[in-house]
Chain A
């Protein structure tokens, strides 16, 4: 830090104060005093953050207009991973499209498989056998835990904590092992397909899953001790990037980003699909400071709350998985699916609660084996669209905190 420290009155004369007082006055005044190079005159500058910046979680480019440490404007540029999955969907049959859905949100591929299968089945009016439906919920919830673990670990990395990442990947490895046992793949599963699952659960799977749950559940407290309530982490995330409930709804935010803003809305509960109405579980939402164990600095809708909702959701997924194991019926894992599926001339739109929010599929058939149109709503696409609204008048370091807490997967943003 160079230059002589100047009083607030002097800075005011330099016209800096006005610029700094927009947005988050409480934080910015503090920042101005302690970090922003006290009174040093700065010039506006355009900086590209990405597309290969480690804290943008994939190929996302943010164009920042900055003044010293202060971000005046943030414009996301996306499309680096665009493969036009929707066009592929118009050229292949639904069963062939399942592997493409893996590559949308590649951290929660099972849920993508699940959503697309449900949409096509709704179009066909197909009934899935009970065991198949339970297998799907088991896989979706396991994948939700794995996905939230990556989010938790990577967010720690963003905030300068390396250890949580290693812990998260240790537990995720067990889940990937379980997935490998059911379908042979560790990331892009294509396991859930039209009519149910592609094969039955292997021998001893329920026992191994129960073992994993017993092992995993106590780890969540470990994560909280390690990261959630760590003072440095809280200072970096609490009160940063606050999104109000009204804004969250207006920008179409879903999933943990919406719930972090205090909106108790989860498709599994509010618009139940598949068999989610059979399970008991809670929907965690963002907490105000000092309530329910939240740190004093927390504000509903801030980065810390978006992060913490995911930690609490892992706990709820464990609950659902335990109930699944209790209720798991025997029988067929897949409906009788004809070799050639003719899609009727109908249209449907269906959403499921994915790892990052509501994954939607619009499927239009016209009597052929390939759909006329497949439209995919990637939740990260909508969640990211609020970035330019939130990343205004924040510090450069806050950008990593905010984008990390939104938890984008570019595969599903760019499709």
Chain B
């Protein structure tokens, strides 16, 4: 099913809460934050759609616009029908949700796709987006006492962290190849 057909199906059911987002080479739908949990469940459970895997949640800071756009990349993995047992691609979709930069939040969908749990924590950590109903919303990649959200466009690099000046850290640079195994 193409993204356009999915959009039509969703608009027929959810009305104005959903609109098509025919972004070139990355098409999908735009959803309001309020409608998102119901739309998410429908995307996953409706047999014609069955977007059973959440691949990625990307947050795009739209600064200077006061908004952050979350992009949920979904794929429908169809169970095999032929004897070779090969699963097939039932369609891909990018769901877009805009949220206010300052104190904005969207409902969590961790109970629809369990994969969302960590992805949402990452978006919270690096972009400062809230996820209502998330069971364990805390920083995941940065330390708990980190200040700010690094992937915001107006993020200021800290001068120091716990008394360690960051210029020195920058001079040290990348640690090389990294240990294997």
Question: What string of 1s and 0s marks CB contacts (under 8 Å) between A136-176 and chain B?
Answer: 00000000000000100110010000000000000000000
Complexed CA–CA distance, A84 and B146 (Å): 13
Which single residue of chain A is at the shortest CB-CB distance from B23?
A: A347
CB-CB under 8 A from A154, the residues of chain B are: 181
Separation of A157 and B181 alpha carbons in the complex (Å) = 10
The reply to whether the CB of A307 lies closer than 8 angstroms to some CB of chain B is no
- When C-beta atoms are compared, the residue in chain A nearest to B73 turns out to be A349
What residue in chain B is nearest A102 (Cβ atoms)? Answer: B177
Does B17 make an interface contact (CB < 8 A)? Answer: no
Chain A: CB-nearest residue to B52:
A249
At the interface with chain B, which of A39-47, A224-232, A234-242, A265-273? Answer: A265-273
| B54 close to A (CB within 8 Å) | yes
The reply on A415 being an interface residue by CB < 8 A is yes
Tell me if A300 is interfacial: C-beta within 8 Å of chain B.
no
User: Measured between alpha carbons, how far is A310 from B49 in the docked complex, in Å?
Assistant: 31
Option from B52, B115, B141 in Cβ contact (under 8 Å) with A385 = B115
CB atoms of B53 and A373 under 8 A apart = no
Q: Which of A78, A250, A348, A358 contacts B25 (CB 8 A)?
A: A348
Most chain A C-beta atoms within 10 Å of own C-beta, residue among B73, B118, B122: B118
> Which of B31-39, B85-93, B159-167 faces chain A?
B85-93
Asked whether A382 lies within 8 Å of B118 as measured between CB atoms, the reply is yes
- Within A66-119, the residues touching B (CB, 8 Å) are 78-79, 81-84, 86-87, 90, 103, 106-107
A251-B115, A362-B73 as given contacts; A150 in contact with B80, CB under 8 Å: no
| A residues in contact with B71, CB < 8 Å | 349, 362
Interface string of A241-277 (1 = CB under 8 A from B): 0000001011110000000000111000111000000
Cβ of A360 within 8 Å of any chain B Cβ, yes or no, is yes
Contacts of A372 in B (CB 8 A): 60
Closest B-chain residue to A187, C-beta based?
B177
Contact digits for B109-130, partner A, Cβ 8 Å, 1 yes 0 no: 0000111011100100010000
Given contacts A83-B174, A103-B178, contact A271 B89 (CB under 8 A): yes
For A382, list chain B residues within 8 Å (CB).
115, 118-119
| B141 pairs with A78, CB closer than 8 A | yes
Given A249-B52, A252-B53, the answer on whether A285 and B85 have CB atoms closer than 8 Å is: yes
Could you say which of B23, B53, B58, B178 contacts A375, with CB atoms under 8 Å apart?
B58
The complex places the Cα of A283 from the Cα of B87 at a distance, in Å, of 11
> Which residues of B are in contact with A by a Cβ distance under 8 Å?
23-26, 52-56, 58-61, 71, 73, 75, 77, 80, 84-89, 94, 113-115, 117-119, 122, 126, 139-143, 150-151, 155, 174, 177-181
